Chain A
Amino acid sequence: MTEEKEEKKEKGKFIVERHYIEDERIIEPEKLDLGGVDASGRWGLLVLPRVIEDVDPTIKEEVKKLPRGKHIDNCWQCGLCTAVCPVSHKNPNFNPRYFIYIVKMGYISEIKKLKDFIYLCQGCGLCTEACPKHVDPSGVMMALNIFFDRI
């Protein structure tokens, strides 16, 4: 069991920002021969596309009605909020930029997957200080804390 876990952890370890990709989407063939060329292991690595079926682009409007969520539209995804976020450094699944992205796009299935991580927000406001578009990511996280509970 431990070996199996270790193997899973090792899978796709050379991928940059590996934590964004679920284990199930990574295929790393143990043995693969492509016309005489050995493409086993990381040489034959495939990352399956992410399929999002559950989409509702209107959820952003709901977030805008919640306390401190009104500036979510200003976000241009520069990622400065995530770069300065101390929680994000400790747990990469807490990613303010990505949370705003999935809400603006209306990716319900992604929200369901990540919604428990939103409650890690410390509300320190470092992201708000860094944001060049005055989105108030700290406030938006508060609105998302409330909104994600509905999903």
Chain B
Amino acid sequence: MSEFIFSYHFLLPFHLVLLIISVLLFLNRIKSWKVKNYYIILITNLFKKDFSLKNKIKAIIDVMVNDFLALKRAGALCEENLHFYGRFLTLYGFLGVAILNVLNFLINPMGMKLGFYNLITILSYAANSSLTIGAAMLIYRRMSRINLRRTTDSGIWILQSLLLLFGLTNMIFMTFYNLGLTFESLYSYIAYIAVIAMMYIYFPLSEAGYFAWKAAHLLSHSLTKQEKVKI
């Protein structure tokens, strides 16, 4: 049984089903806000012939690099290290984990043990540590400030806790798995995929859903040259 759930024969449909549920929940949430669905607009704009392909790529890269990767619309200007580095580590850690999971799937589809000295394992530890530290910084920041703590709604606590648990459970599982501890790795793996399932379900209903909508909003505007004001 453990071999089956560690392999991508289980993981691929698991991710696919949850992704579909997640997308449906996200679309429903956008509908409940009574705003435009910028993902549809974005796709339409991508196929429009009003602008050259070069300009489209340039606009997308500009938004992705400045607003998203450099966090210029998500904390880079807030002049507070705890907040900026918290978000920075969480974002890059999460991206790292996602990319490494895809890489692992491509080179190791049966989910075989890679060992501690494998490059993917080392990078996975780095990405998960980054995510865990980032999420812990964000939680600590909210807990240590009275007004911030008082007005923080449960949704944010849940979101940040899920991110923290995601990084932690993944690291614990990787350690047990690479040490060859079958039972421990099985239980930690079940905890890890349970956290993943919760993330798929909860993300579209949380602030992460809002960020996903905002990203599409900014991207689609940059493509139609109605670019939002920059600082």
| Shortest distance between the CB of A97 and any CB in chain B (Å) | 16
Contact of A119 among B36, B147, B148, B228 (CB under 8 A): B228
B210→A67 contact, CB < 8 A: yes
CA of A109 to CA of B128, assembled, Å? 47
Stretch at the interface among B77-85, B100-108, B188-196: B77-85
Contact pick for B229, options A93, A125, A130, A146, CB 8 Å: A93
- Is the Cβ of A150 less than 8 Å from the Cβ of B147? no
Contact with B along A14-41 (1 / 0, CB 8 A): 0000000000000000000000000000
Q: How many A-B residue pairs have CB under 8 A?
A: 79
A8 contacts chain B at the CB level, 8 A cutoff = no
Instruction: Tell me the minimal C-beta distance from B178 to chain A in angstroms.
Output: 37
Give, as a whole number of angstroms, the nearest-CB distance from B67 to chain A: 9
- Considering only residues 187-231 of chain B, those with a C-beta below 8 Å from chain A are 207, 210, 213-214, 217-218, 228-231
A110 to B184 Cα, complex, angstroms: 60
With both chains docked as a complex, state the minimum distance between the C-beta of A87 and any C-beta of chain B, in angstroms.
6
Residue of A86, A121, A129 with highest tally of chain B CB at under 10 A: A129
Least CB distance, A74 to chain B, in whole angstroms: 10
Enumerate chain A residues within 8 angstroms of B214, measured Cβ to Cβ. 119, 145
How far in angstroms is the closest Cβ of chain A from B81? 11
Residue-wise, chain B 129-168 has the 8 Å CB interface mask toward A (1 for contact) of 0000000000000100101101101010000000000000
Report the bound CA distance from A146 to B214 in whole Å.
8
- Residue from B34, B78, B153, B207 in contact with A126 in the complex, judged by beta carbons closer than 8 Å: B78
The reply to whether the CB of B35 lies closer than 8 angstroms to some CB of chain A is: yes
Which residues of chain A (37-94) have a CB below 8 Å from chain B? Answer: 66-68, 71, 86-87, 90-91, 93
Contact indicator B151/A128 (Cβ below 8 Å) = yes
Distance to closest chain A CB from B33 (angstroms):
5
Complexed CA–CA distance, A120 and B153 (Å): 22
A residues within 8 A CB of B76? 122
Closest beta carbon of chain A to B215's beta carbon, Å? 11
Does A142 make an interface contact (CB < 8 A)? yes
Q: Is B15 an interface residue (CB 8 A)?
A: no
Alpha-carbon gap, A71 to B34, bound state (A): 20
Verify B218–A86 contact, CB threshold 8 A: no
Residues of B within 8 A of A128 (CB): 147-148, 151
Contacts of A86 on B, CB cut-off 8 Å?
77-79
- Contact (A116, B228) CB under 8 Å given A67-B210, A122-B78: yes
* Cβ contact within 8 Å between A71 and B151: yes
Measured in the bound complex, the distance between the Cα atoms of B37 and A150 in whole Å is: 11
Is A139 close to B, CB under 8 A? yes
Give chain A nearest CB distance to B151 CB in angstroms.
4
Given known A91-B231, A142-B210, contact A134–B33 (CB-CB < 8 A): no
Which residues on the A side are within 8 Å of B218 (C-beta)?
Answer: 119
User: Beyond A87-B77, A93-B229, is A67–B150 a contact (Cβ under 8 Å)?
Assistant: no
Q: B109 within 8 Å of A by Cβ?
A: no
- Assembly CA distance A123 to B145 (angstroms): 15
B-binding residues in A (CB < 8 A): 66-68, 71, 86-87, 90-91, 93, 116-117, 119-126, 128-131, 134-136, 139, 142, 145-146, 149-150
List 11 other contacts, CB 8 Å, given A87-B78, A90-B231, A131-B151.
A71-B151, A91-B231, A120-B73, A120-B230, A121-B73, A123-B74, A124-B75, A125-B83, A131-B147, A139-B153, A149-B36
> Would you list the 8 A-B pairs with minimal beta carbon distance, nearest first?
A124-B78, A136-B151, A149-B35, A119-B228, A122-B78, A86-B79, A116-B229, A129-B147
